[in-house]
Amino acid sequence: MSGSHTGDGDGPLVEARDLTFGYAASPVVEDVDLRVERGEYVGIVGPNGSGKSTLLRLLLGLHEADSGSAELLGHPARAFAERERVGYVAQDVTEDEKRMPITVSEVVLMGRFPHAGFGRVTAADREHAREALRTVGIEHLADRKITALSGGQRQRTYIARALAGEAELLVLDEPTVGVDAESVDAFFDLLDGLVADGLTVLLVEHDIGAVIEHASRVVCLNREVYFDGDPTAFAESDALDRAYGTNVRREEGGIVT
């Protein structure tokens, strides 16, 4: 999964220092320090509107920080060029996507383009793409138009594209929104398997219980970082109550905010 890239040594895949950003005058992400090492599985939680998606976009270099810095695989995030090394599964279906009358297998094959010699996709590239579809369990959807997928199937398509591209880091923004409970369990099992195979995962997720169960580390955000560390310690800490500004109920089988 680590691909053929070796240039960045063993440094962190993500490194943010004092990262601050606001759409208008007041910041929605403030003084955030975050470091993600290779092999980690980091879950970002926080109340609605707490800056989680914005933070991901800053880390990916899609917004320019007002102050502080964000580095992706050792490069300033804004200038990072080797996009195939980082798979991003965004929350919403983009307008571009809606206009794309292409199939699942074509989307996944696009992950191979940076690897294809002289811009030519080979039989080996196609096999990589098929393998990625098999890994995420949607081989049967290969010829389906991406505009005709459920939310969960779409997420898997973009994960497959990242795998086909040999991404080292997978960034997901609320991948289980609108996905039924059974499929959510299957989805987290899939992520567990990918992490076991060496992929690094950074995930924004509203289901705190799922993050505590699956991630190796939890970051709790409400504009600023309220907690960064071990999931079990997080479940027992008062950071959750402070960040959500409410008493969070801990019930068997989950955490209710």
Ligand X SMILES: Nc1ncnc2c1ncn2[C@@H]1O[C@H](COP(=O)(O)OP(=O)(O)OP(=O)(O)O)[C@@H](O)[C@H]1O
Residue 160 CA to residue 138 CA, distance in Å, equals 9
Q: Which of 7, 48, 95, 253 binds ligand X (CB under 6 A)?
A: 48
**Residue closer to ligand X (CB basis): 30 or 168:** 30
Per rule CB under 6 A, is residue 50 in the interface with ligand X? yes
Under rule CB under 6 A, residue 87 binds ligand X:
no
Candidates 48-56, 66-74, 157-165, 249-257; binding stretch for ligand X (CB under 6 A): 48-56
- Residue 11 engages ligand X in binding (rule: CB under 6 A): no
Give the chain's length.
257
Smallest distance from the beta carbon of 146 to ligand X, in angstroms? 22
Type of residue numbered 81: A
CB 154, CB 73: distance < 8 Å:
no
Q: Which is nearer to ligand X, 34 or 107 (CB)?
A: 34
At closest approach, how far in Å is the CB of 253 from ligand X?
22
Q: Which residues contact 233 (CB under 8 A, 6 or more apart)?
A: none
The reply to whether 245 sits near ligand X by the rule CB under 6 A is no
Cα–Cα distances (Å) from 87 to 18, 161, 171, 181, 202, in that order, read 24, 8, 6, 24, 10
* Residue 193 binds ligand X (CB under 6 A): no
Q: Does the footprint of ligand X cover residue 26 (CB under 6 A)?
A: no
β-partners of residue 20 are 67
